[in-house]
Chain A
Amino acid sequence: MKFAIAVFSPAHAPSSRRALRFAEAVLAGGHEIARLFFYQDGVHSASANVVTPQDELDVAAQWRTFIDSHQLDAVVCIAAALRRGVLDEAEASRYQRPAANLPKPWELSGLGQLHEAAQSADRLICFGGD
């Protein structure tokens, strides 16, 4: 079965970790992830500038590793990301900002990608909360 997973919370929130554990279980169960979509404060889960205290789980890094190792389609909502200062090279240069913090494997794109993923997947699961 195909899953679309939407993450609404930053890497330091328990629900971002929960989304990651769920995504791992989806693949472990032999299913497919059509797309990961990071929306609202979820865009912070994609920032390369997150520095996690040494005694805490680095969920942002775990997302990056997970997406890289399974070559997943990981889309970050562009409108949500820009207003929160999560920019790739192209947007940093377009808006003359001093730095980019959204390298590959993340892609900035629009909300239409969430809609499309919800249509093409068998299930859409959203993660937010505490």
Chain B
Amino acid sequence: MTTLHVIAHSPFGDNRLASCLRLLGADDALLLCGDAVYALHAGSEPQRLLQGANLSQRLFALDEDLQARAVANHLATPVDYAAFVQLSLHYDKVNSWL
């Protein structure tokens, strides 16, 4: 059973990202959207956390949220809404960190 985790809160306001990374299974993936894309900000603590998690092809970010927040991202695969839908079907469940 694989899960796509979705985080939409800033990593600077709470511990969702750290909790999620702790729970993330070997075949699970993480999608950052909204203010959560700030986690990809170069040189930040959340970015170091993401790098350390070694997600490679399992880390995604909603492209329009990256653009809206001018986050230069080299870590996550950018996705549009069509790809978001595809991702949600590729994984068995979607868990939003409300």
Contacts and interface: CB of A to CB of B under 8 A. Distances in A.
Contacts, number: 62
Contacts of B80: 25
21 contacts: A1-B89, A14-B8, A18-B8, A18-B34, A21-B81, A22-B85, A25-B82, A29-B82, A29-B86, A123-B89, A123-B93, A123-B94, A125-B6, A125-B88, A127-B96, A128-B98, A129-B96, A129-B97, A130-B8, A130-B9, A130-B34
Given A128-B8, A129-B9, A15 B85 contact: no
B47 interface: no
Contacts of A84: none
A29 B85 contact: yes
Contacts of B10: 130
Interface SS, A side: mixed
A14 B37 CA distance: 13
A14 B82 CA distance: 18
A66 to B, nearest CB: 13
B15 to A, nearest CB: 14
B7 interface: yes
Interface residues of B, number: 24
Interface in A100-130: 122-130
Interface string B1-25: 0000011111000000000000000
A8 interface: yes
B36 interface: yes
Nearest to A124: B94
A29 B81 CA distance: 10
A31 interface: yes
B85 A31 contact: yes
B94 A15 contact: no
B11 to A, nearest CB: 11
Nearest to B98: A128
A18 B34 CA distance: 9
